[in-house]
Amino acid sequence: MIKQVRTKSNAYSTVRYDKDGNILTPSRKRELKKAKEEPIKGPESIKIISQYPSTCSACNAKILVGTQILWNKKNKNTKHVKCSMFKIVIEKYVHKPKIYKGKDMTKDMFLLPVIPWKWTLYADSNIVSYGYTHTEEDANISANQAINQYRPFRA
Domain spans of the chain, in order of start: 1-38, 86-153
Asked if residue 39 lies in contact with residue 75, where contact means CB atoms within 8 angstroms, the answer is no
**DSSP conformation class of 86:** E
pLDDT beneath 50: ranges in the chain = 153-155
Q: Is the Cβ–Cβ distance between 65 and 51 less than 8 Å?
A: yes
Q: What is the pLDDT of residue 154?
A: 44
Looking at residue 53, its amino acid is P
Q: How is residue 114 annotated by DSSP?
A: P
Rounded Cα distance between 17 and 3, Å, is: 8
Q: What is the pLDDT of residues 114-130, one digit of tens each?
A: 778 889 888 766 788 88
pLDDT at 155: 42
Q: Look at residue 110 in the predicted model and tell me its pLDDT.
A: 65
